[in-house]
Amino acid sequence: MKILIINGPNLNLLGTREPEIYGSVSMEDYLLELNTEFPNHELLYYQSNIEGELINRLQKDDFNAVVINPGAFTHYSYAIADCLKNIQIPKIEIHISNIYKREEFRKKSVTAESCDAVISGFGMKGYKLALQSLL
């Protein structure tokens, strides 16, 4: 199975950005771990700080499922929500932190409704949980 793991803005800073919230492991290091744990599946990774680039990547038809952490776009990107709504494969939204324990604006996800499930607050393990549930 080919699974697209797609991250939104500032998630390229994982490992250094607010480690008390997001942890100290980089996404590159965590991807190595995921690839080792799921060797029979192809994990495609994409990250961008640009909304349109994320949408363009999601619209490519080269994967069977999506694990998406939209980052700040979670809270206001109706364009990403619409894109996800039109993708007819399994989609799981994840958040490293528990968005419901954060600032008020972070408690609302406009993209979640377009996904099959949401995983929030398990740290980087959320990606692994999403992959396990897809497989």
pLDDT digits (tens, 9 = 90+) for 75-91: 999 999 999 999 999 99
pLDDT of 20:
82
Per-domain residue ranges of the chain: 2-134
Name the class of domain 2-134.
Answer: alpha beta
Is 95 assigned a catalytic role? yes
CB 130 within 8 A of CB 67: yes
What's the whole-model pTM score? 0.93
96 annotated as belonging to a binding site for a ligand: yes
3 annotated as belonging to a binding site for a ligand: no
CB 22 within 8 A of CB 96: yes
Q: Among 45, 76, 95, 127, which one carries the catalytic annotation?
A: 95
CB 81 within 8 A of CB 110: yes
